[in-house]
């Protein structure tokens, strides 16, 4: 195979320009070479050759011999190709793991029900937070949340939207387990005007009803690698929202008001 054909093959693997010239020069040499000799034979500027050699070494394409001056030797192409293949495979796996979250982040809401109803499923944490804040800013009358012990800490990150809602006279009620770990956060959100009650853990969790028209359900995801921590189901369907509101009201009614 000619030198030009070898360079073209390397370019297909993402090894471009001076890097391809240097690797082919070393691969065709029967002996290790110094940087000066490589620059001359590969037609690479002397001021760039060390940068190119460092890059090829970091990517596993060549070995550095501890001579004085240093000499360089190409790694066998089969070994280099296998390294590139493993790296590509790892990148593909990483992208595959992120696919669902990225699709959620960039996709427009998808309609899953007929008529005016809408169901949106989100798995990416940033997309969930963005959509919830948007819903809070849409609320006009009330928000009733049956949450977990982490709910108050979550609200701390939404402070501007929470305070704006309360300033619009939106009544926000949260029933959640209250303990020493979250009591300070609970006091903070109470100071913003949010009404918090203490409920037993496990009675009902992960539900928020906005204006008796929109429902947000939170589901903890499975433990498999790459699984999202939480999946959010956002449903805009008045009849279902009223049903969930009645259920949440029942939990609220049995929750304990917090002592001053």
> 136-158, pLDDT tens digit by residue?
988 999 999 988 888 888 888 88
Q: pLDDT: is 110 or 5 the higher one?
A: 5
Reduced to 3 DSSP states, what percent helix, strand and coil does the chain have, rounded to the nearest 5?
Answer: 50, 20, 30
Residues 176 and 131 in one domain: yes
**Chain segment 14-51, per-residue pLDDT in tens:** 788 888 899 989 988 989 999 999 999 999 998 889 88
Residues 103 and 36 in one domain: no
**Chain segment 72-91, per-residue pLDDT in tens:** 999 998 888 888 888 778 77
How far apart, in whole angstroms, are the C-alpha atoms of residue 209 and residue 197?
A: 16
Residues 23 and 126 in one domain: no
- Note the pLDDT of residue 226: 45
Vertex 57, ends 53 and 63: CA angle to 5°?
A: 100
How far apart, in whole angstroms, are the C-alpha atoms of residue 229 and residue 181?
A: 21
Residues 112 and 218 in one domain: yes
142 touches 247 (CB < 8 A): no
Phi then psi for 174, rounded to 5 degrees? -130, 125
Phi then psi for 161, rounded to 5 degrees? -65, -40
CATH number of the domain enclosing 39: 1.10.10.10
Phi then psi for 202, rounded to 5 degrees? 95, -10
**Chain segment 57-75, per-residue pLDDT in tens:** 888 889 999 888 899 999 9
Q: Residue 260's pLDDT band (boundaries 50, 70, 90)?
A: low
Please provide the distance, in angstroms rounded to a whole number, between the alpha carbons at the two ends of the chain.
84
Residues 79 and 11 in one domain: yes
Residues 78 and 137 in one domain: no
**Total structural domains in the chain?**
2
143 touches 169 (CB < 8 A): no
CATH number of the domain enclosing 185: 3.30.870.10
């Amino acid at each position: 195979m000619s030198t030009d054909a070898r360079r073209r093959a390397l370019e297909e693997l993402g090894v471009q320009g001076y890097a391809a010239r240097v690797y082919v020069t070393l691969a065709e040499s029967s002996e290790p070479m110094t940087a000066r000799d490589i620059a001359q034979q590969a037609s690479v500027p002397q001021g760039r050759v060390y940068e190119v050699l460092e890059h090829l070494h970091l990517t596993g394409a060549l070995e550095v011999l501890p001579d004085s001056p240093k000499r360089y030797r190409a790694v066998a192409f089969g070994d280099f190709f296998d390294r590139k293949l493993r790296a590509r495979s790892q990148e593909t796996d990483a992208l595959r793991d992120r696919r669902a979250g990225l699709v959620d982040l960039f996709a427009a809401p998808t309609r899953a029900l007929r008529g005016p109803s809408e169901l949106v499923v989100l798995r990416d944490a940033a997309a969930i937070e963005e959509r919830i804040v948007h819903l809070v800013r849409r609320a006009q009358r009330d928000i009733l949340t049956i949450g977990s012990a982490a709910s108050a800490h979550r609200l701390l990150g939404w402070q501007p939207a929470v305070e704006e809602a309360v300033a619009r006279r939106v009544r926000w009620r949260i029933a959640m387990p209250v303990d020493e770990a979250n009591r300070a956060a609970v006091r903070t959100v109470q100071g913003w005007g949010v009404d918090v009650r203490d409920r037993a853990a496990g009675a009902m969790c992960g539900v928020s009803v906005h204006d008796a028209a929109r429902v947000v359900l939170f589901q903890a995801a499975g433990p498999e690698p790459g699984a999202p921590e939480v999946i959010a189901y956002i449903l805009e369907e008045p009849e279902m929202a009223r049903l969930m509101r009645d259920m949440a009201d029942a939990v609220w009614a049995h929750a304990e008001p917090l002592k001053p």
